[in-house]
Structure 1
Amino acid sequence: MTTIVRTQDLLENFNLELVAGEEGLHREITTSDISRPGIEMTGYFKYYPKERLQLIGKTEMTYFLELNVEDQYDRIMRLCTDLTPGIVVTRGMAVPQVMIDVANKAGVPILHSPRKTTRVISRLTNYLEAKFAPFTAIHGVLVDIYGVGVLITGQSGVGKSETALELVKRGHRLVADDSVEIRQEDYDTLIGNSPPLIEHLLEIRGLGIINVMTLFGAGSVRSNKKISMIMDLEIWDSKKQYDRLGLDEEKMKIMDVELPKATIPVRPGRNLAVIIEVAAMNFRLKRMGVNAAEEFSERLSTMIVQEKEDFE
């Protein structure tokens, strides 16, 4: 799914004022990179990234104002290309009339911000990177358990939604049921959320669709969550050897990110909600440097060595 971001979106989502170039608000922003045209103000446009959003701070504006009238006109004319999505002027600085005239003629929006340049760059970059982040969707349930984002997967009918309902009853928060939209932020971060159509809803076979927020309150849901681990539910296979110690950590790759994965066999009598809850707590312990499986393995090795020495 391709995300389309237009200059109009920046005007609607940030504390920006349109100064000129209203006709160009429909222009598409195609990259999250933002350019500060300092070298371009000197007249060097050989490597000018015209497809980027241009940001003029105090340094660029001060230099521009020291140019003569002809050079000012030349610089702003060359900045305002057919591909330039817009120009943002920061720090509440007054926009020169020559900029306004050329931008109106070229149809390039000039947006005005009262905030510091570094703050504007940071917020715009974060917004654009989130919009352009790689995206996929996975069949499963995402729950926030003690601050750990747990993605519950498994074949249809295995009990994912019922397990999520039990987890919500135990005080945890539902993020998404059935379909989890996942976007990759940075190199190692996956953020999951629910499609708008089914947000806050759970489908329970035999009961139908329920609204978790209405039944359990606003504290039982959240809009998005970083995915930290995957719990894969599968029908118990007596011929399969399941991990009993937890020393061999399985991984699952989603886009470019590898996440720890545990396979939980499902059969009558097993309380899946409690198992997944404990798995989330154990994951937190591992991040704090406490690994019960490794501790047990070390104790066992020490005992074997000790008994061997005693026997000799």
Structure 2
Amino acid sequence: MSDPNTTDFTNPSTFILLGIPGLQAAHVWISIPFCTMYIIAILGNFTILFIVKTEPSLHGPMYYFLCMLAVSDLVLSTSILPKTLSIFWFNSREIDFSACLTQMYFIHCFLTVESGIFVALALDRYVAICDPLRYSTIMTNPVVAKISLAVVLRGCMLLLPGPFLARFLPYCRNNIIPHTHCEQMAVVKLACADIHVTSYYGLFLLVSAIGLDVIFIAVSYIQILRAIFSLPTKDTRLKTFSTCGSHLCVILAFYIPALFSFLTHRFGHNVPLHFHVLMANMYLLVPPMLNPIIYGVRTRQIRDRLLRLFTHKRT
């Protein structure tokens, strides 16, 4: 006979997502800014893709990276928002175990891909500003294709073990996830086995991928800023600095909440849970909304093409 005090080690068929713990009564109101950001992200990123596709003069390295960024933003925001809004609006909290692991993979995979795209954009701007005479010979289409392939493969391969590690963990506790989506550490903390391997793997990814990306971007923009301050005229310096400054703001809006969320899961035990969940949503929602505006509308060629498009429709 089995001991009635023991618990069977089984994988749950479904998880229950609580949404934002402690703020369930305000879910409908919180859904308004969430839905607004999602709509802006969808419209903005599809606009970038349409303009670059239909304008031959924009078929260049920076714009290819912008298209990759737009696709990554669309995947990231769509990976979480439909389910999050269904929790907020219809109290639809159940998510299938396999669907949860799939969502987990797509979120973390495309976070890593997006980080790599920021590195590629920083490299592109570094060459364009610091070595403009050799830009066309350095940033050729084959080089752009290799960089793009490396960024995508790195994200897909590095994050592939994550769902498998979570899949084969035994879950014998409750199946309630205090989150709006299947964040990896929020899921594996429900396991009743040693999760040190998964935790260390997450820290390895944080240091080897995101950490190195941040260092590379920082070095690139330091060199860019040095080149900007050596430009001959004040107007040129201000214009270039304004563009790079807006790019840095978007990059910081991505990395700061992301690093906060990753580190809070492991070390921030005194951080209020609702604040942690809100911040975890911000780095998945705010950058996809801001990227088309900062990298798109503030880029003169895209802005001019967009104005011509609306002017043509009016006439």
- Name the TM-score, length of structure 2 as normaliser: 0.21
Higher relative contact order (CA 8 A, sep 6+): 2
Structure number with the higher strand fraction is 1
Larger % of helix: which? Answer: 2
